[in-house]
Every structure is written in structure tokens, then in C-alpha cells.
Amino acid sequence: MGRAKKIIDEALELDEKERALIAREMLASLGSAEVSSEFARELERRIQDIETGAVKPVPWSEVRSELENLARGR
């Protein structure tokens, strides 16, 4: 899992459009047998929301910091 974690950590540092591209490609690489059609549609919808600017993603560093603060009771 060390290699996968390193790749994920590096991918999370990319901007949202680059992460959306990676998510789309990774999903496509799994094949339809491993991913439900509902999940694929939801992922595509979320990617479109990012690409069109309908939603503004929060950087992982901010999410992680917020989660750490919550875990500490702040």
C-alpha cells in the first residue's frame, strides 16, 4: 500500500481539473464489472460540476486540517 498512498498523496496536491481527469481515467481502467453504473454516473456528474465551476472543491490540505481540528475537539 505504500506506493498507492504515495500516488494518492501526490494526486491530491493537483488542481481540481487534474484530479477529475485522474478520477475519470482510474474509473475507466477498472472496467464496468467492478463499478456500478450508478457510481459511474455520479462520478461523471461530480466531474462535470467541477469542470463547469458549479462547485468549488476544497483542497485536501484544508479538509485534512479541519478533520484534525475536529478530532482534537476544536
Residue 3 confidence (pLDDT): 92
Residues 22-71 pLDDT 10s = 988 887 787 655 667 788 889 889 888 988 999 988 888 899 999 999 99
pLDDT digits (tens, 9 = 90+) for 10-26: 999 998 889 888 988 88
8 A C-beta contact, residue 50 and residue 16: yes
pLDDT at 10 (0 to 100): 92
Provide the grid cell at 8: 494518492
